Amino acid sequence: YYIMGNHDWEEGNNKDIFKSVIGQRTNQFIEIKGYPFITVSVDGSASDNQRYIYQSTSQNFLRSALEKASQEYPGKPIFVYMHVPLHNTVYGSYAIAPVTLTRSANTEAMKNICNSYPQAIIFSWHSHHPLGDERCIHQEKFTAIHDGNLTFTAVEDGLLPDGQYQFSKDLNITECCSVTVDNKNDVTF
């Protein structure tokens, strides 16, 4: 299963290409082995004039999908995948994040939707930060996980004058999470 990230929008509206080439909807509710999975694609790129990456269509989809999953799969975790992390959750989504995308992407609205679903586990990976940092998991009203990256790993080199981090892109490391759910529905990363 695939979702669209911010770079998938840099050449314009690619939803039609995504649907025709990949053959999937941009937002999906999927059952896999008795567990609910929700994918939410971004609705645009911060580089275009539409600074709100998760627009009302995605917000409404997430709200509806989480409600459906909580009713149809009581007592089970709900796995949610979205490219841009929810603001002030995992490493790379804080106020001093190197990319202002999390602050301008309506991720606060998406976070407020997730707050009502403690069984939700939100996976995101936009920041390129390394997985070894303890800030890659956030547990408050729901669980948020930074799930690594497929190209370079960004390591902090220090702060720039505007308070943002400068990153080294010299580490061509691919990282990801391995997730296990036991017969009691306990989740291990």
Judge whether 122 and 145 are in contact, CB under 8 Å: yes
| Of residues 105, 121, 127, the one with CA closest to residue 175 | 127
Strands 35-40 and 27-32: antiparallel
Judge whether 104 and 146 are in contact, CB under 8 Å: no
Q: Alpha-carbon distance 6 to 46, whole Å? A: 7
Radius of gyration of the chain (CA): 16
**Tens of each residue's pLDDT in the chain, 189 residues:** 888 776 666 665 566 777 777 788 889 999 999 999 999 988 765 554 455 578 888 999 999 999 999 999 999 999 999 988 887 888 777 654 444 454 556 788 889 999 999 999 999 887 777 777 777 889 999 999 988 777 766 666 555 555 555 556 666 777 778 899 999 999 998
Phi, psi at residue 98, to the nearest 5°? Answer: -70, -20
